[in-house]
């Protein structure tokens, strides 16, 4: 049985994904179907819940948003969204997400972006995650910083 808290967290996570997708739409990205990824589409696009790449445990990953922008991310950008409004366990997944993003870059040249929203994360987990950033991995926390990062790096 799924608890009320888990259902609410799932709903908020979906709302967060929708919000980021709307930001992408606003700056000229087009949502495409997952089956069209890999075709020679030259426009700025994104797709949701993409499943193809293998993670560190040898299982297929589900990438929240995969996007392509020839000018900024010609090898694509994998976007992982984590929402947590109160204390919980989502922040315990950060190291796993970051290691999978590093594997995506090593194996496919795909850079990673971890977006954190909700404010309920352990501050040390966020600090650690931000300390992992480099030219291939970006970590952004908070709605206004997420909006600014998207505007600055994707428009």
Q: What's the pLDDT score for residue 13?
A: 78
Q: Report the largest interatomic distance among the alpha carbons of the chain, rounded to a whole angstrom.
A: 46
Alpha carbons 98 and 104: distance in angstroms, whole number: 10
Q: What's the pLDDT score for residue 4?
A: 53
With residue 64 as reference, give the H or E element that holds it.
Answer: strand 60-69
Alpha carbons 27 and 20: distance in angstroms, whole number: 11
Both tokens of 71, joined, read 């000018």
How many domains is the chain partitioned into structurally?
1
For the stretch 47-58, pLDDT in tens is 999 999 999 999
The answer for residues whose C-beta is within 8 angstroms of residue 137's C-beta and 6 or more apart is 98, 101, 102, 105, 111, 112, 113, 114
Both tokens of 109, joined, read 């040249």
CATH of residue 46's domain is 3.40.1350
For the stretch 85-132, pLDDT in tens is 887 788 889 999 999 999 999 999 999 999 999 988 899 999 999 999
Domain of 10 in residue numbering reads as 4-154
């Amino acid at each position: 049985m799924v608890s009320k808290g888990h259902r609410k967290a799932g709903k908020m996570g979906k709302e967060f994904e929708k919000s980021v997708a709307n930001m992408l739409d606003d700056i000229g990205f087009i949502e495409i179907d997952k089956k069209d990824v890999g075709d020679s589409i030259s426009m700025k696009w994104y797709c949701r819940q993409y499943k193809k790449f293998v993670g560190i445990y040898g299982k297929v990953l589900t990438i929240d948003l995969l996007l392509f922008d020839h000018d900024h991310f010609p090898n694509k950008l994998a976007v992982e969204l984590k929402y947590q409004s109160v204390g919980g366990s989502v922040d315990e997944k950060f190291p796993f997400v970051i290691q999978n993003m590093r594997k995506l870059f090593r194996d496919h040249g795909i850079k990673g972006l971890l977006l954190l929203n909700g404010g309920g994360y352990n501050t040390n987990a966020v600090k650690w995650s931000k300390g992992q950033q480099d030219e291939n991995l970006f970590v952004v926390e908070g709605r206004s910083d997420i909006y600014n990062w998207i505007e600055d790096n994707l428009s």
